[in-house]
Structure 1
Amino acid sequence: MGGFAEAVLERVHAARTALSAALAAEDAYEVAVAQDELDDALRVARRHGIDVDSAAKAGER
């Protein structure tokens, strides 16, 4: 996997982690920020044909 794809997958992983933490903390502002970041990271992944679901299942993030 190329460096760009790895960076995108790491961004998605970090955004998912941040969203989970914000939800657990019940922080509405941080949930909104984290959700926006996740949406953007997933949009970039889709635009470049990076399958984040397969990568997550394979343990690559």
Structure 2
Amino acid sequence: MGGFTEAVLERVRAARTALSAALEAEDAYEVAVAQDELDDALRVARRHGIDAGADLSESSEGKG
């Protein structure tokens, strides 16, 4: 796995972690920021053919 791929996957992981923490804290602003970051990270992954696992709808399902 190349450095770029690893960086993209790490960005997706970090964004998912931030989203989960924001949802747990029930912080609407942080949820919006984290969700935007996750959406962008997943978009970059898709654009470059990187499998980033479950998409946003699966990772946040049932937490709102």
TM-score (norm 1): 0.86
Give the aligned partner of residue 16 of structure 1.
Answer: 16
- What secondary structure sits across from 2:53 in the alignment? helix
Q: Which runs of 5+ in 1 are unaligned?
A: 55-61
| Cα separation, 2, equivalents of 1:8 and 1:47 | 11
Following the alignment from structure 2 to structure 1, what is the Cα–Cα distance between the partners of residues 15 and 53? 14
CA deviation map 1:11-61 (0-9, x unaligned)? 00000000000000000000000000000000000000000118xxxxxxx
1:28 aligns with 2:47: no
Count, aligned residues:
54
- TM-score by length of structure 2 reads 0.82
Q: Which residue of 2 aligns with 1:57?
A: none
Give 1 or 2: higher helix fraction: 1
- C-alpha root-mean-square deviation of aligned residues, in Å? 1.1
